[in-house]
């Protein structure tokens, strides 16, 4: 293999058998349970990286089931998103993500900088309740519940909320352990089709864990619970801020 062939094929590792295919990535019947809650503002301010700016003491805890996704197959994901602004642009800072499938863990971290770790999330309907759970190292760290399809929500409003930009802190180390890449990445979901959206009474229970500290942003008050069924595309991102630029 020549040097030019290495450069041309250097998309992901291992170079002869990448863990995931090139994007963009289409998701069919992607299902969300999003529980929005009020938390400790001082705890939030300690974890939001500048130049992102704090907005309000709000966190969105998401449980997501993805039964049909390009290159990634069927997997579930769960994590926390924090409302922020960057240069006046409102969006969400993705603070934590736990999922149960290696290709999207590798692809998410390498391409965009998603803060993905291996966990065991699940989203399912149990009789009259939509139930989201997240286990880490065989320990339940999050349980979200919502009354199943109590009220229908406006599809256009939900679509616009999903189109809001998201921000990620991407860190790739050099061989000596110092940062080779350290930047804020911005992306927005595209080609969104809302197949249904509902609200209902919601609850969220978080438990402390040394390696999965979702409870470090404590639940003070649940503000809303939303259930969404959609098709959408996850495009590649752009660099919004480079911490290493001179």
Catalogue the active-site residues: 116
Report whether 221 contacts 168 (CB < 8 A): no
Report whether 133 contacts 143 (CB < 8 A): yes
Whole-angstrom distance, CA of residue 162 vs CA of residue 12: 28
- Output the six-digit token pair for 140: 């339940």
């Amino acid at each position: 293999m020549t040097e030019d062939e290495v450069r041309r094929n250097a998309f992901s590792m291992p170079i002869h058998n990448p863990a995931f295919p090139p994007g963009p990535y289409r998701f069919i019947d992607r299902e969300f349970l999003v529980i929005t809650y009020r938390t400790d503002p001082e705890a939030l301010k300690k974890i939001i990286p500048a130049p992102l700016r704090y907005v309000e003491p709000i966190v969105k805890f998401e449980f997501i089931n993805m039964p049909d996704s390009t290159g990634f197959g069927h997997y579930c994901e769960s994590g926390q998103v924090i409302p922020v602004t960057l240069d006046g642009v409102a969006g969400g800072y993705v603070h934590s993500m736990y999922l149960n499938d290696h290709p999207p863990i590798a692809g998410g971290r390498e391409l965009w900088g998603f803060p993905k770790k291996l966990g065991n999330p699940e989203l399912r309907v149990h009789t009259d309740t939509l139930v989201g759970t997240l286990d880490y190292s065989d320990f339940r760290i999050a349980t979200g519940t919502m009354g199943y399809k109590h009220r229908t929500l406006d599809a256009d409003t939900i679509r616009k909320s999903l189109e809001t930009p998201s921000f990620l802190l991407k860190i790739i180390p050099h061989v000596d352990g110092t940062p080779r890449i350290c930047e804020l990445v911005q992306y927005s979901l595209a080609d969104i089709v809302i197949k249904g959206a509902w609200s209902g009474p919601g609850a969220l229970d978080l438990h402390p864990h040394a390696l999965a500290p979702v409870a470090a942003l404590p639940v003070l008050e649940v503000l809303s619970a939303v259930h969404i069924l959609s098709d959408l595309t996850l495009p590649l991102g752009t660099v919004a801020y480079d911490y290493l630029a001179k």
